[in-house]
Amino acid sequence: MANLLVLGTQWGDEGKGKIVDLLTPAFEVVARYQGGHNAGHTVWVRGRKIVLHLIPSGILHAGTLCVIGNGLVIAPAAFFKEIGDLEAQGVAAGPARVAVSRGAHLIMPWHPLAERFSEDRRGEKKIGTTCRGIGPAYEDKAARLGVRAGDLADLGILREKIADAVAAKEPVFRAFGLPALDAEAIYREYAGWAEKLGPYLQDVSELLDERMKRGESVLFEGAQGALLDLDHGTYPYVTSSSSTAGGAATGLGVGPRTIHGVLGITKAYTTRVGSGPFPTELDSDLGRTIATRGDEFGATTGRPRRCGWFDAVAVRYACRVNGVDRIALTKPDVLAGLGDIPVCTGYRYKGRLLKSFPPETWMLAEVVPEYRTLAGWPESLRGAADPGSLPKSFVEYVRVLEDLVEARVAIVSTGVERADTVLLEDELRGIVDLDRVRAAAGK
Ligand code: IMP
């Protein structure tokens, strides 16, 4: 089996968790390459909701190795809370199933403190972050002040690194009236994590290389979404890591040629949490109806998500930046019965039609979207088992989207459970055994 990269093509929350979980049985390894516990990947199994933050969404399939790359930032307490929650639900998540890169950076106690301060100081211009310390941990990584998971292996090194970082932070914290940092107390806390985290730590680049040489295949899992990428997203209203496809190579220590295909997860409408421009936003009762029907509340923070129409300009851009060749279209069932459905086909800036998604976020904030209205589908899509049972107007919606974003739709997700899936390509039927999935779900 070829390796596959799965990522979101919008502002996150496209439903990656379900698709990764569905595809996992075809892969031996699922490897995440960026972000931290800011992510929230929801997987439903037989009516049970499981939300994953740090652990790859392949964990629910016994026998799959889940890998956390050097591109992630890890809060040890959050990691072990998630492991504990999974094990309480009968999901094995010990070191035999989860490998953490020695190069991953640790979220330290000063990171969430600094982030809350920075968000408050920005006032109206706040990013609307998850306040988990993610951004400041990546700041320290770039400033070469970070503490890495591998540093836990030598307590002398750990103590020194923490002391150096605290010495750099202390004057700033003091000047702004933030709580005092006690390097020794922080060292003791992290020395405590060292023993627990130790068995999970591995040289992930080497591990993946060995597994691939053995003929095993890897599913690379992105978190957040392409439009939240630090370089290619709507900067500064982005997360602080490389959520686009390029991040997989740097975030796991694999060569770009190990990525054989890129599957973009795309919601049939658009959502966004936090601040930043959103051209097709529906700040109206209709937007709130979509939010309610789609259960659009943050899996990590519980914040309501902003909702709007499908934005083909943004998704076409994401497909280009990531080399997306196929799409899994999620949540079209939410739009059933809403009447005609507008799709954004272009942006006008100061009256001029733009050629593509603008890299300047201030320009994006001013664009006027142009829409093409498509016939909606009154029928629910639930229970559709094959392409032939999908409503005609929905099939036409898919065809128009494919033309606009320049990528084929290969999977349609019609509900939250694994079995609520329609495969549009024969090639995928060899990867996903839907009959087995449906039989297991009693459908
Ligand atoms: P941070 O990742 O906590 O720094 O937040 C930066 C931006 O990314 C904010 O707008 C967050 O709402 C957004 N964000 C972070 N993680 C996710 C996610 O998993 N889904 C959707 N938005 C996210």
- Report whether pLDDT(10) > 90: yes
The structure tokens listed for 274 are 């936090």
- Report whether pLDDT(430) > 80: no
Give 321's pLDDT tier (boundaries 50, 70, 90).
very high
- Name the CATH code of domain 105-199 (choices 1.10.287.370, 3.30.1330.60, 1.10.300.10, 3.40.190.10): 1.10.300.10
Q: What is the structure's pLDDT at 301?
A: 81
Q: Which residue's CA is the closest to the ligand 1 atom numbered 2?
A: 239
Instruction: From the CA of 241, give the closest atom in ligand 1.
Output: 2
How far apart are the CA of 436 and the centre of ligand 1, in A?
Answer: 35
- Report whether pLDDT(261) > 90: yes
The amino acid at residue 259 is: I
**Are β-strands 408-413 and 352-353 bridged in parallel, bridged antiparallel, or unpaired?**
unpaired
Instruction: From the CA of 276, give the closest atom in ligand 1.
Output: 10
User: How many CA within 13 A on the CB side of residue 125?
Assistant: 6
How far apart are the CA of 131 and the centre of ligand 1, in A?
Answer: 9
The structure tokens listed for 366 are 């001013």
Does residue 353 contact residue 313 with C-beta atoms inside 8 Å? no
Q: What is the structure's pLDDT at 435?
A: 83
Give 431's pLDDT tier (boundaries 50, 70, 90).
confident
User: How many C-beta neighbours within 10 Å does residue 382 have?
Assistant: 11
Query: What sign for the dihedral angle of Cα 254, 231, 72, 276?
Result: negative
How far apart are the CA of 211 and the centre of ligand 1, in A?
Answer: 32
Residue 81, judged by CB atoms within 10 A of its CB (0-12, 13-18, 19+), counts as middle
Q: Which residues pair with 311 in a beta bridge?
A: 344
pTM: 0.96
Torsion of CA 101, 36, 278, 294, to 10 degrees: 110
Q: What is the structure's pLDDT at 371?
A: 98
Dihedral pair phi/psi, residue 234, rounded to 5°: -85, 70
338-354 pLDDT, tens digit per residue, is 999 999 999 999 999 99
Angle, in degrees to the nearest 10, between helices 155-175 and 183-197: 140
User: How many CA within 13 A on the CB side of residue 31?
Assistant: 35
Q: Which residue's CA is the closest to the ligand 1 atom numbered 10?
A: 274
**C-alpha 436, offset from chain centre:** 27
208-252 pLDDT, tens digit per residue, is 999 999 999 999 999 999 999 999 999 999 999 999 999 999 999
Q: Is the CB of 41 under 6 A from ligand 1?
A: no
Q: What is the C-alpha separation between 85 and 139, in angstroms, rounded?
A: 30
Mutate-to-test residue for ligand 1 from 41, 52, 131, 239, highest number of ligand atoms within 8 A of CB = 239
Q: What is the structure's pLDDT at 429?
A: 77
426 contacts: CB under 8 Å, gap ≥ 6:
none
62-110 pLDDT, tens digit per residue, is 999 999 999 999 999 999 999 999 999 999 999 999 999 999 999 999 9
Instruction: DSSP letter for 9, please.
Output: S
How far apart are the CA of 74 and the centre of ligand 1, in A?
Answer: 15
| Domain 4-97+203-441 CATH assignment equals 3.30.160.270 | no
Q: What is the structure's pLDDT at 158?
A: 98
- The domain ranges of the chain are 4-97+203-441, 105-199
How far apart are the CA of 214 and the centre of ligand 1, in A?
Answer: 36
Torsion of CA 208, 70, 151, 36, to 10 degrees: -130
Dihedral pair phi/psi, residue 219, rounded to 5°: -105, 115
Q: What is the structure's pLDDT at 303?
A: 85
**Mean pLDDT for the chain overall:** 95
Q: Is the CB of 240 under 6 A from ligand 1?
A: yes
Q: Which residues are annotated as catalytic?
A: 13, 41
Mean local confidence (pLDDT), 387-412: 96
- Report whether pLDDT(187) > 80: yes
Dihedral pair phi/psi, residue 406, rounded to 5°: 65, 45
18-75 pLDDT, tens digit per residue, is 999 999 999 999 999 999 999 988 898 888 899 999 999 999 999 999 999 999 999 9
Q: Is the CB of 344 under 6 A from ligand 1?
A: no
Q: What is the CA radius of gyration of the chain?
A: 22
Q: What is the structure's pLDDT at 76?
A: 98
- Report whether pLDDT(298) > 90: no
Q: Is the CB of 128 under 6 A from ligand 1?
A: yes
Percent of the chain having pLDDT more than 70?
A: 100
Q: What is the structure's pLDDT at 206?
A: 98
Q: What is the C-alpha separation between 441 and 217, in angstroms, rounded?
A: 26
Q: What is the structure's pLDDT at 302?
A: 84
Q: What is the C-alpha separation between 124 and 205, in angstroms, rounded?
A: 42
